[in-house]
Each structure stands twice: as C-alpha cells, then as structure tokens.
Structure 1
Amino acid sequence: MPTSFNQSVIDEFRANSGKVGGYFEGGDLLLLTTTGAHSGVQRTVPLGYVRHGDLLMVVGSNLGSDRHPDWFHNLMAHPQVRVELGAEEFEALAVPAEGARRDRLFAHVVSKEPGYGEYQRSTARVLPVVVLEPDTTSADEGPSEVANLADKLMEVHVWLRGQLGRVREEVETHFAARAAHRGPGEPPAPGLGLQIRQRCLAFCQSLEFHHTSEDAHLFPGIEAHHPHLADVFERLRAEHRTVARLQRELSGHLTDIAGADPEAFRGELERMSTELTAHLAFEEETLLPLLKEIPFPPAGPAT
C-alpha cells in the first residue's frame, strides 16, 4: 500500500490535474502505476520526471539508497505501466536505458536536476534511467469505433500484430548492429537488449492474458450456443497451447538477449510469429461473424 504521504500526494495530483503543493510544488511530477512483481497488485507512486526531446524519463534513485525502488522491480517483471501526467493518462512501456545511452541520459538528467547526481554519489548502485514509451501501436487497420464483441476482438488482434511487428523490427536492428560492430567496446548503435526484453515480455504477458480470457470466458459462452463448432474451439485451444509453448521457449532466450545466439533467437521468434499469425487469422474467420451480434461493452442492468 502507498504510504500516507504518497497517497496524499496522489489524491492532490488527481484532484488538481497534476498540480500539487508542499515539497513538490512547481516540480515536474507524474504518477506511475506498476504491477507488483510477486503480488500482481497495482501500485501507484508519485515520481519526478525529466524530458529529453521526445523522451519521458524517471530515475530509480530511491533517495540514494543501495537498493532499487520497488516500482523498478515491478516494471522489470511487468513492463506495461500506466502514466498520469497532468490531466493526461496513458499506457506505456517502461524501458531502462543501457550502457553508454544510460550514461548520456543520466548526464542530461543531472544537468536539469542536480539532486540526482548527489543520490548517485551516495551509492555504488548505478541509478536506473527508465524511459516511458507511450503505446503508439497503430490501430489504422482496426475498427474506428468498438460497438460489438467482434470489434473488440479485432482491436486486441491489431494491437498484438503491431507489437509483434515492433519486436521483430527491434530484434533485426539489434542483431544487425552487433554483426556490423568491429573493435572493442559497445556497438555504435544504442543497445536494444533491454528494450527487446521489455517489449517481448509485455507482448507475451498481454497475449497470455488474452488467450486465458478466451479459454475461460469467451469460448465456453459461444460454444454453449453453437455446439456444432466444438471442433473449432478445440483447435483454437490447441493453438493457444502451442503459442504458449513457443512463448516459454522465447522467454528462455530473453534471459540474456545480449549474449543470445542470433539465429536461435530469430528462429524462435519466427516460429511464434508464424503460428500466431495463422491462429489470429483462423480465429477471425470463425468467430467474427458470431461476435458481431454481441454488443460491447455489455449493457448494464436495467434501472
């Protein structure tokens, strides 16, 4: 649970479109909501932020202590976070910067907020600089308005395809930079290891949630009204199990993306991409006609 001080700041922030008084008055403040690494419970904390061009950054200073703050451990386990900035609220991917890029960004942070330099000098721990990337996956191919369950399914599928595309692009960029690098030191291009890890993890967690919800709620409800489609639903469930196995294999490679074998990683990603793309297409072909008659969101009880 948030401390009473943090909760009072959160309440004031939300009541005044991001403006607070007292210790934080006039400062750049946002609210970050993460999912507990072990509990799975959502936690919200007020944090100072720094901008650098289009980048929105927070620093895991923990007031200069020798351990990372809890919210940092949370976002490493669950990279999708929610950000409240002024009156705006959006979902984001939390990506800690790496190596030379982290050092450059931290130098910019200190130039704007020197206190972070004092925190770094008080601990041997390298203070994480976390970039909060708004989820801007294109939904141009999805429904412009969600009016029924078919529209909602397509909205989720478009998001999943977009995220998978971004993962593949970043993997190719990362391995191309590694292959082109000559000499000692880091590759000249910014390292993408943690970025790939965070995006893959966010994608896999969203996909797992989507498939679990379908297996537990969507499929049984439709199957009860369309028993002649039992074979279709058995195939969809089997495909869910196949995709889940591929996700686990891919996650094994993510434990050390920097040292991963490029061909092995590409192979796992390609297999999952092929299986998932075919699965989504089959699901749309069979389920969309049935779901168009079901309004979304569902109507509430009559009053």
Structure 2
Amino acid sequence: MEARDSRGHVHPSHEPNGRLTALGNQLIEIHLWLREELARLRTSLDSPGGDLRSSPDLRAHCLGFCAALTRHHGDEDGGAFRVLAEREPALRPVLAELAEDHRVVTDILRRIEDLTTDPAAGRAAVRAELDGLAALLESHFTYEEKKLVAALNREAGGSVELLGVTRPGRETTG
C-alpha cells in the first residue's frame, strides 16, 4: 500500500507481513529521511548559535548528512543504477542524467564541507549552499522517484547495498 505526503510524494504506508520492502519503496523512504535531515540541518543553522564552525554538534550533523548523501549516491551509481542499466536499457538516458546530478551534488557537498572549516566563511554562505542543495535535491529526488520506483520495485528482494543508506531505526534484511 502507498500513500502520498503533502507534497504529493509517494511513500509506503506500511510493510505488509514483515516482507522485505520493495527496492523502489526503500528509495522513497531514504529520500524522505534525507529530506527530513536536510530540513533539520537548515533549521538548526537558523537557530541562535547555529554556526557550523562554533557548534560541534551542528558541524557533526552537517558532515554526517553529507556523508550519508554521498554514500547513497555512490551506491546508486555503482549498484542500483548499474543493475537497472543492464536490465532496462531504456532507462539508461535517465540514469545518466541522475548520475550527472550526483556529480553536481558532490561539488556542492565539497563546498559545504570547506565552509565548515573556513574561518572567513559566514553563516550566509553556508545557508546559500544548503538552500541550493535543497532545491536541487528536491527536483532530483522527485524525478528519480517518478522515473525509477516502478523499475526498482520489479527487482527481486530489497538490498540496501544498491541504495546506500538505511534510515536510522529501520532494519533491513537482504
């Protein structure tokens, strides 16, 4: 069973009979979690004392988010996208476009990481990069979900290795 959130994104409403969640549904869950984490990070940056250089917790959250997103995209490119390209050649142009987005995201993440240690960088510079990242990721995630969820759900059994991230508090069996 699927449900739509307030933005119209499809996400699973439950996991039937304890079976593995289909790979496409895992992708949606990961994207929802990454969206939530990025929103929390942006909100934290706006709070009093929300400077990445002077707040170890905020900096750790930022670097943790960057690492999780990097791992997710790397494993998609080397796992799920490779499998889909082999099994569904018609998706190759979509996969190439998504992989290019991953390279752009990687560049933004590097700039954010550099800003966390640059004594001259202000909160506004970090915020601008996070805002740009949020806009790009929203478009990227929506497109990826629209184009790939059905194909991923046809893949037998779910495997977190193909997607790179497991939401905290969520165990997968594979």
- The TM-score bracket by the shorter chain reads 0.7 to 0.9
Deviations 1:77-114 (A, max 9, x none): xxxxxxxxxxxxxxxxxxxxxxxxxxxxxxxxxxxxxx
Partner of 1:195: 57
Unaligned runs of 5+ in 2: 1-9, 160-172
Q: Which has the higher strand share?
A: 1
CA contact (8 A) 2:84 2:91 kept: no
Take 2:88 and 2:154, find their aligned partners in 1: how far apart are those partners? 14
- For 1:248, which of 99, 110, 123 is the aligned residue? 110
- Over the aligned positions, Cα root-mean-square deviation in angstroms equals 2.5
Say whether 1:292 aligns with 2:166: no
Partner of 1:207: 69
Deviations 1:139-177 (A, max 9, x none): xx84332521011111211111111011000001146x7
AA in 2 matched with 1:247: L
Compare CA radii of gyration and give the structure with the larger one. 1
CA contact (8 A) 1:253 1:265 kept: yes
Take 1:265 and 1:239, find their aligned partners in 2: how far apart are those partners? 20
Identity of aligned residues (%): 31
Counterpart secondary structure, 1:152: helix
Task: Give the aligned length.
Answer: 146
Moved >4 Å (runs of 4+): none
Take 2:106 and 2:46, find their aligned partners in 1: how far apart are those partners? 23
Counterpart secondary structure, 2:155: coil
AA in 2 matched with 1:254: T
Take 1:157 and 1:278, find their aligned partners in 2: how far apart are those partners? 11
Unaligned runs of 5+ in 1: 1-140, 179-190
- For 2:82, which of 217, 220, 230 is the aligned residue? 220
Counterpart secondary structure, 1:292: helix
Q: TM-score, normalised by structure 1?
A: 0.44
CA contact (8 A) 1:211 1:240 kept: yes
Partner of 1:156: 30
Partner of 1:136: none
Q: TM-score, normalised by structure 2?
A: 0.75
AA in 2 matched with 1:241: R
Partner of 2:122: 261
Q: Which has the higher helix share?
A: 2
